[in-house]
Structure 1
Amino acid sequence: MIELPLTELRAGLMASLAVPRWVDDVVRVAPFESVSQLLDVASAAATPLSASEIDEAIAHHPRIGEKPVGDGAAQAFSRNEQAGLGSDEEDLAAEIAAGNVAYEQRFGRVFIIRAAGRSRAEILTELERRLELPNSSELEIVGEQLRDIALLRIERLWATPAEDDLS
């Protein structure tokens, strides 16, 4: 059984996905029997996210390849998620930066991708692919990426290496 104070649960969820409706929907189900149940509820509540919720969530994400500003939990997550991108691929970093500009001009929002576990080359390839999509398809992908990022963050917050629950 995961028994967290609601303030701690809310704060962790907001750092994972800054969408108040989603946080409320997930908290409403607490307490959770396991991290798996929490992840299932969180995933269902984030599927799909509305366009305005995507905008809310994106406001808390730095551009891919840029250092997050601030010291909050969401910024710490972003630093950790982008840490694996390395700095030895400067040409790729410049191409991603240029891609970010093109993406923002095309879609009017920051490019969002689950960076954890991906190389700069993989991110650049996906950025270039997604630049060619219609806005409606891209918006759906952004929502999926935000959900995936949130689920990874929830796991980092509350899963233990040896077990699936916090009892």
Structure 2
Amino acid sequence: MARLNAAPDDEALAALREVCASTAWAHALLARRPYATADDLLAAGDSATGELDGADLDEAMAGHPPIGRPRPGDPASAREQRGMADASDALRAEMLDLNLAYQERFGHVFLICATGASAEDMRDALRTRLGHPPEREREIARAELGRINRIRLARLATIVTDGTGHEPEEEEAVQEPEPLTEATGQEQSAAAPASVSTHILDTSLGRPAAGVPVTLAALGEGPGARWTALGGARTDGDGRCKELPALPAGTVRVRLDFETDPYLTAKNADGDDGSDDGGAPFFPEVTVAFRVRPGRHYHVPLLLNPFGYSVYRGS
């Protein structure tokens, strides 16, 4: 505490910006020095967090990496996200998809005080919060930011710094979780056909879309090649389509056809979806075509809502 109080403004400001990326927040705490006790410092932090306006709150949240993706050289986020260290590849992939859906819906990173939380805890919270109205979710994110700031401030009040506002060198050696790779498991032979998987997340509800028919077609090489329908399956309770047919050798393009009409019709049967045609889905089907290469796996999720959708290459 004494060192924070006595540090030159630039050093103290750098240390505070390591706690919270908001410039306004850091300057507010800087202006209130000296602090008699750690409790005084925490109270000042709480007050400054509550006073952040829209742009300042956005700046603060932008300083946090997505769950499961701590930034290289950022010991704080790596330490706080240790609950993801033992997460399975499937859970990591699900978190990636949910994070993307969250950012698409709310326009900012999913923020949660991850200290002490398991990967499953964070996944469940993310699923729940995807269904919140934007105004409510923003205040929840502010509260989570406040919790994170308190933990980091308490640490700042007790750690020995090197005079630059950074933690000791050994803290920066925290190992990060292994990044997701393009393949889903064992290295695949370059001679083997490509493989494809998908799942559907209903971003308007923040949960998987179950029971949606998905069909698969393949296109081979050559000027006379034609699309060949291979069959399909329905998404399960997790929104995943686990029974898609295998691709034949020589496939260079793949097409996924999502029959979204039955799912959206059932969802909008009460007609309160804002449409002017009795709740009939605006997008009764979604077709996605993409290139593939032999020996590689392609996971192509669909993020769906009644009036829009997006697809991307996942992991």
Could you state the TM-score of these two structures normalised by the residue count of structure 2?
0.47
| Long gaps (5+) in structure 2 | 160-315
CA distance in 1, matches of 2:31, 2:24: 11
- Give the distance between the partners of 2:68 and 2:51, measured in 1 at CA: 26
Preserved CA contact (<8 Å) 1:51 1:139: no
Question: Match for 1:10: what amino acid?
Answer: L
2:107 corresponding residue in structure 1: 108
Q: Aligned ranges for residues 65-144 of structure 1 at < 5 Å?
A: 65-69=68-72, 71=73, 75-144=74-143
Identify the structure with the greater strand proportion: 2
Q: Counterpart of 2:183? A: none
**1:15 paired to 2:15:** no
Q: In structure 1, how many angstroms separate the alpha carbons of the residues matched to 2:36 and 2:77? A: 28
Tell me the residue number matched to 2:195.
none
Greater RCO (Cα-Cα under 8 Å, separation 6 or more): 1
> Is the 2:29–2:44 Cα contact (8 Å) retained in structure 1?
yes
Query: 1:81 & 1:88 partners in 2: Cα distance?
Result: 14
Q: Does the CA contact (< 8 Å) of 1:104 and 1:110 recur in 2?
A: yes
- The alpha carbon displacement at 1:152 in A equals 0.8
Question: Could you tell me which amino acid in structure 2 is paired with residue 61 of structure 1?
Answer: H
Name the structure 1 match of 2:42.
39
Corresponding residue of 2:234: none
Identity %: 32
Single out whichever of 80-89 and 9-18 deviates more from structure 2: 80-89
Distance in structure 2 (CA, Å) of the matches to 1:145 and 1:88: 22
Per-residue deviation, 1:156: 1.4
CA distance in 2, matches of 1:110, 1:27: 26
Q: Which has the higher helix share?
A: 1
Moved more, 60-69 or 129-138: 60-69
Q: Deviations over 1:38-85 (max 9, x none)?
A: 01111111114322112111222111111313x3xxx22111111232
TM-score scaled by length of structure 1: 0.86
Residue matched to 2:153: 154
| CA shift in 2, pair 1:93/1:158, >3 Å | same
Separation in 2, partners of 1:84, 1:77: 13
List alignment gaps of at least 5 residues for structure 1.
161-167
Give the aligned partner of residue 25 of structure 1. 28
